[in-house]
Structure 1
Amino acid sequence: MAGIVSILDSDVGGVACAEASNECLADLHLDRIIAAVIAGHDDGNLTRIFSTPLREVAAVRYRQQVFRDLEADETRLAIEDFADGMRAVRNRLHTAANVWHPLQQQGWLIAAIESYCEAVLLLADQLFCVRPRSSALRKIAQHVTRYAEGETFGCLVAETQSLRERLGDIRYLVHIDGLRVRVESYSERADYSSAVAETFARFTADFGKDYRVNLPEFKDMNHVEEQILVCVSELYPDVFAMLSDFCRRHAEFVEPNIARFEHEIQFYLSYLAFMGRFGETGLTFSYPEVTDEPGNATAEDVFDLALALKTLKEDRSPVPNSFALSGRERIFVVTGPNQGGKTTLARTIGQCAYLASLGCPVPAGSSRLTLPDQIFTHFERQEEVSTLHGKLDDELVRIHDILSRATGSSIIIMNESFSSTTADDALLIGGEVLERIIALNCIAVYVTFIDELSTLDPACVSMVGEVAEHDPTHRTFRFSRRPADGRAYAAALAEKYGLTHELLKRRVAQ
């Protein structure tokens, strides 16, 4: 049999990737996105896959090819049929593990093996018909074909069918006399069932009331059913000995690469199903052009996926934005009025980079992104009394840790950092931090209320949150690449403290 075949990574034996930090996932609301994606799909492994970004461009493209294959309905439906079949296998194995009686356990096991054989044969036939283009699905198609045509699987199918036929040929009689039940071998007797049905057929009417009661079905047998089954096994010892031997030899019947494919394909199917929820919103997903060249962060019509998920039931959509770096530019300095979408833009850029590093389509019309080795976030935290540090101390400790671990391939996202201190101190500290980031030559997003930081260095790009032209208190949630002028922020402050022109006129009039 061939070696390990994975549809998540072409280099299965390569260097293991580290999971993203919980702080990063929470700050960027990626934890909410992942929870929504895997809902109804999680087999215990999906969370780990979605929490482990890739570090190689080739690995990202490997996954993108699979996603492109699965966009074709014929290919996706074929694999969904296989996934449904394997889900039935797992359900029957779960039942077998939880029923009490050994003979019933054996019955559920052979049922699971039957479902498994059907799912594998169907997958082999359908993958041969759809001819996938991605190298990952081609490998799987070749492996499944070889396995389905191999001696091991052929013997499993033949033996399962033969045993099922032997079990199906069993006939027995049950005599019920009060509380006494007797089981004996079947002998030819008159069959009165058709005569009884014909006799009572004259009393049926289409408009008659249905007095039948739906009885609940229990997985476990009751004590009477158990004793009947034991008696039947004693009447046909050879058949049940074959069943016992079959179950002993095939307790682990799922081929390792088939099992791996079943788990890994859920990564793709769950994300595609998640994307499908936005089909009628007008929001678009696309495959980012991922590169290992430094300084690439460009996207058109990008939106916050967590916000889009939240507004999905509200018949509205988030406002899309665009951003771009070129040449020596590395840092987006985001300014604008409070509640104007600055944090949302920062999260959007981080989400885009993270989802791209998973090999997934990203929430954007188009994008070109440098594949990060790590995404660091520096968001506001609640002050903890137990640490005996002030809020500013804690922020400085965290940013020092980030800067000591970041590389030129990292992304750093800072949101309203150092806002707990004075404006002069925030300018001084922010300038020092930006200088360190510029020296690292990595991509960064810096959300701030200090406009001066946007002109610190040519590496800084000013992104300004816009307000309505005739009403500076109305946020548009759109961002433009232009110098920060502070007017929008000043207008927001005036509104906050009741110092706008209209409010002052009312006060004077009073």
Structure 2
Amino acid sequence: MAFKSIIYIKDENNLISYDLDLLTDLSLNDIFKGINGNIIDDNIDSILHKPLKYIENIKYRQDVFSDLMDNNLYNAVKLFSENSDILLYKIRGLNDLDDVQRKRCFLDSVYLYCNAITSLLESLKNADLKSSGFINLLDYLKNYTESDFFKSLKKESYNIEKIISSIRYKININGNKITVKKCLNDDDFSDEIINAFSKFLDDKNFDFNDDNSYEIGHVEASIIVLVSRLYPDEFGLMSSFFEKYNNFIDPVIEKFMHDIKFYLKYIIYMKRFTNYGLKFCIPKIINSGNVYADNIYDLALAQKLIIHGNIPVANSFSFNDANILIVTGPNNGGKTTFARSIGQVYYLSALGLPVPGSDAALNIPDKIFTHFEKSEAIENPEGRLEEELKRFKKIIDESTDKSVIIINEMLSSTTIMDGIEIGKKIIDLLIKRKCHSVYVTFIHELSELNGVKSYVAQVGNDHIKRAYKIIQEKSNGMAYAHALAEKYGLSYEILIKRIKNEDLSNIN
């Protein structure tokens, strides 16, 4: 198959649909910022906002990531990307240069381009490639470098570079007058000058000839013009070369230059966490069978924790024997973080990315929905409950048996009895829809319904400290509020004692 893109094999518009609230609810915006770094790359940002529905595209990306796990190939591709950045920066700045400078910079750019492609080709030849993405790229580069265009481009750029680099001239400065003349071999004092001034440099390996800057003053620019007049034939070759190869970058290779950063940036991003012992895995993509993920964690939370040298608690989940996970337990016990991490794993896997965790087998949903609690607006006359139910109805109406739904703390504005009754109807609708759903709730009675699997947030032996561990077990209905109240002096017994003491003090 002919190589067109390292990102898509085909059908790039077949995408998973989602509401923009999902990016906030699952903290994906924070993750995207972490991947992109300080400088937002619009191309990468666009890819991150387009989860794939077409499984072949997902596996295509996964295989590319697998190949890049080889350090030699990774380093070679990273070097190519770095050289590409320099090349594209030079090309963008050509119009800001004077005529001779522009043509010299253009020649250097072509020289860099040819070297970068040749080097990448050799690295791909020596690599044990498994992905169709890199295998097809290798075939493309072989054909491209054997083309008459590239052969001429490379040969002429090398020859002219050699000719231009061999030009020598001398400058006589007499007051305000500068005279430029050809330099004979016996007039060359370069070595003497370098030796005389090298002792003033901290870097003894400084290369006086390695100057990629073309931002020179008007005096230097004038000198270059004079030099070009001394060597009209040599500079004429450079001008002809500029006109002949003005649009020299192959469009497919240029697209690869931009797209490969998607992989490189994510690998760099992963290393921030793997350096702390956290794991990533390439999930198996399945159409049926047990959907699960082991030792997953919230990437957005991990970003914050590792700044202080801490790591999040990892948890696992499985949809085996049930399509609905009910998550209960004490407040601040990690329930929402657990649900969010499940949503992140689904979304990131749909991008073809390695996901946080040690092992996973996931289906690719057609849609991903989130229903997280929102602050009730004062101007909203319908009330929070009605607003929540309307949002849920929209989700149910638009979902299919292939969708994923993450619900967090719904019905918190109702009484327990109303919450149980409404919650039962919600779960009944989810069961009938047959989609994979995660439902975080304070109503532990919902975990006892048929067709659901119960997960419970754990606490320490003191019933106060949160373990942030979520395990599959039957809910005990405990919120451990009494232990917390005692810790902060707010239990019923303590409050009654205080009131009595205050009454006695008032009598005195």
Q: Give yes or no for the alignment of 1:359 onto 2:355.
A: no
Structure 1 position 472, deviation (Å): 1.6
Query: Does 1:319 find its partner at 2:313?
Result: yes
Distance 1:193 1:278, change over 3 A: closer
8 Å contact from structure 2 (residues 36, 45) kept in 1:
yes
Alpha-carbon distance in 1 for matches of 2:193, 2:460? 82
- Are the equivalent residues in 2 in contact too, given 1:19–1:48 (CA < 8 A)? no
CA contact (8 A) 2:26 2:340 kept: yes
Q: Which residue, 390, 393, 399 being the options, matches 1:397?
A: 390
Please say if 1:241 is aligned against 2:210.
no
Compared CA separation, residues 299 and 195, structure 1 to 2 (3 A): closer
Distance 1:197 1:441 in 2: 77
- Separation in 2, partners of 1:10, 1:483: 45
Question: Hey, what's the Cα distance between the residues in 2 that align with 1:18 and 1:487?
Answer: 38
Equivalent residues in 2 for 1:116-155 (5 A)? 116-155=113-152
Deviations 1:324-345 (A, max 9, x none): 1223x11111111111111011
Name which of 68, 80, 94 aligns with 2:66. Answer: 68
Q: Could you say what secondary structure the match of 1:311 adopts?
A: helix
> What amino acid is the match of 1:151?
D
| C-alpha distance in 2 between matches for 1:400 and 1:14 | 30
Q: Cα deviation per residue 1:80-132 (whole Å; 9 max; x = unaligned)?
A: 222222122123223324x3423222222211111111100001111111131
CA apart distance, 1:316: 2.4
Question: Structure 2 regions of 5+ residues with no counterpart?
Answer: 201-207, 502-508
Which of 425, 430, 433 in structure 2 is aligned with 1:440? 433
**Matched letter for residue 82 of structure 2:** D
Question: 1:85 and 1:41, CA in 2 relative to 1: closer, same or farther beyond 3 A?
Answer: farther
Aligned to 1:282: 277
Task: Among all aligned residue pairs of Structure 1 and Structure 2, give the percentage whose two residues are the same amino acid.
Answer: 35
- C-alpha distance in 1 between matches for 2:334 and 2:437: 17
Judge conservation of contact 2:2–2:136 (CA < 8 Å) in 1: no
Q: What is residue 467 of structure 2 aligned with on the other side? A: 476
* Correspondence for 1:350 among 334, 343, 354: 343
Structure 1 residues 257-288: Cα deviation after superposition (integer angstroms, max 9, x where no partner): 22222222222222222222223423222221
Give the Cα separation in 2 of the matches to 1:386 and 1:499.
34
**Aligned 8 A contact 2:7 2:61 in 1:** yes
Q: Which region of structure 1 is more displaced relative to structure 2, 396-405 or 441-450? A: 396-405
Greater shift, 86-95 or 439-448, is seen at 86-95
Matched, 1:377 2:374: no
- 1:424 aligned residue (387, 412, 417): 417
Residues 456-504 of structure 1, C-alpha deviation per residue, up to 9 Å, x if partnerless? 3x221111112223x1222211122222222235546755995548746
1:502, 1:284 → 2: CA distance? 46
Q: Which residue of 2 aligns with 1:55?
A: 53
- Residues 20 and 51, structure 1, Cα contact 8 Å, conserved in 2: no
Q: Please give the alpha-carbon distance, in whole angstroms, between the structure 2 residues aligned to 1:286 and 1:266.
A: 20
* Number of the residue aligned with 2:504: none
2:452 paired residue among 460, 471, 474: 460
Distance 2:478 2:377 in 1: 35
- Name the residue aligned to 1:80: 78
Secondary structure, counterpart of 1:472 in structure 2: coil
Of the structure 1 ranges 216-225 and 252-261, higher mean CA displacement relative to structure 2 is found in 216-225
One-letter code aligned to 1:152: F
Q: Is the 8 A contact 1:172 1:183 kept in 2?
A: yes
Determine the structure 1 residue equivalent to 2:332.
339
Contact 1:330 1:459 in 2 (8 A): yes
The Cα shift of 1:391 comes to: 3.0
| Residue 180 of structure 1, CA deviation | 2.2
Q: Distance in 1 between matches of 2:291 and 2:398?
A: 21
| TM-score normalized by the length of structure 1 | 0.87
TM-score (norm 2): 0.87
Residue-pair matches, total: 493
Tell me if the contact between 2:15 and 2:54 (Cα under 8 Å) persists in the aligned partners.
no
Structure 1 pair 219/167, CA: closer, same or farther in 2 (3 Å)? closer
The change in CA–CA distance for 1:280 and 1:165 in structure 2 (over 3 A counts) is: closer
Q: Give the AA of the match of 1:342.
A: K
Asked if the contact 1:491–1:500 (Cα under 8 Å) also holds between the matched residues in 2, the reply is: yes
1:189-215 Cα shifts (integer Å, max 9, x gaps) = 7556778899x89xx999xxxxxxx9x
Q: Distance in 1 between matches of 2:224 and 2:445?
A: 83
**Structure 1 pair 489–118 and aligned structure 2 pair: CA distance change class (3 A):** same
Correspondence for 2:291 = 297
Q: 1:308 aligns with which of 302, 306, 324?
A: 302
Kept in 1, the 8 Å contact 2:3–2:140? The answer is: no
List structure 1 segments (4+ residues) > 6 angstroms apart after TM superposition.
192-198
Q: Write the distance in 2 (CA, Å) between the matches of 1:493 and 1:169.
A: 80
Deviation at 1:239, TM superposition (A): 3.4
Give the residue type in structure 2 aligned to 1:7: I
| Structure 2 partner of 1:176 | 173
Asked if the contact 2:14/2:54 (under 8 Å) is kept, the reply is no
Could you tell which deviates more after superposition, 181-190 or 81-90? 181-190
SS at match of 1:464: strand
Cα separation, 2, equivalents of 1:292 and 1:342: 28
For residues 3 and 256 of structure 1, what CA distance do their matches in structure 2 show? Answer: 14
State how far apart, in whole Å, the 2-side matches of 1:402 and 1:193 are: 75
Per-residue displacement from partner, 1:406-439 (whole Å, max 9, x unpaired)?
A: 1111111111123233333333333332222222
Q: Which amino acid aligns with 2:93?
A: T
Structure 1 residue 321 displacement after superposition:
1.4
2:266 aligns with 271
8 Å Cα contact 1:43-1:263 kept in structure 2: no
Partner deviation per Cα, 1:23-59 (whole Å, 9 max, x = no partner):
2122111221221122167542111112211113332
Give me the whole-angstrom Cα distance separating, in 1, the residues matched to 2:190 and 2:455.
82
